[in-house]
Amino acid sequence: MEFISHDDRLLGLEYKKWDEGFSFVAGVDEVGRGPLAGPVVAAAVVFPQGSDIPRVNDSKLLTAVKRDELRQAIIDVPGVQYAIAEVKPEMIDRINILRATHLAMRLAVEQLADVDFLLVDGLPVTGLPVESLAVVKGDSKSASIAAASILAKEYRDSLMVKFAEEFPGYGFEQHKGYGTKQHLAALKEIGVCDIHRRSFAPVRDIINPPPEQLELW
């Protein structure tokens, strides 16, 4: 396993905050904002200062095999803290996907025993329990955020594979709930299942077809 050198740019933000006096700097990221089915998932990771950190990367740039290898390497770092939280489709429909994403992040952070600063991927997030810095494309700029992205994606992908067994025919094990041609075709043929997000347009239009579609029928 290759580790990140302590002067690597991927640890620049962490060292900056450690030098400012913060002891427990967490990276926070989410996965699953865009799919038509399944939860949105967030993870938070705190690496101890001076620890050997696996050479992580943005989870979207990794193969499934490499992601799984790094997931295990991350949780095996001595003293690491990590937490994962999910917000289910019914809550996404109730409060909207942006608020659900922020809620998942907050729930993940609140599970950590010790945290005093957050590096959050993307735009600013409200309602977090400690001070935070929003980092656009953070999973390519911070080892902690990249690690969180890997844990979140591995957790959600595994969950969607299990849902594929519970709700066969949609191909969840392949597209993980995203709106692929295969998924959209299955939606039209089979209909909506319990883990679909009913507020998302392709699903909503199956439940309540627009007038122009009704005329075609």
pTM of the complete model? 0.94
β-partners of residue 121 are 135
pLDDT tens, position by position, 37-80 = 999 999 999 999 999 999 998 778 888 899 999 999 999 999 99
Domain extents for the chain?
A: 9-158
Fold exhibited by the domain 9-158: Nucleotidyltransferase; domain 5 (3.30.420)
Residue type, 5: S
Closest alpha carbon to 46 in 87, 14, 21: 14
Name the percent of the chain lying above pLDDT 90.
89
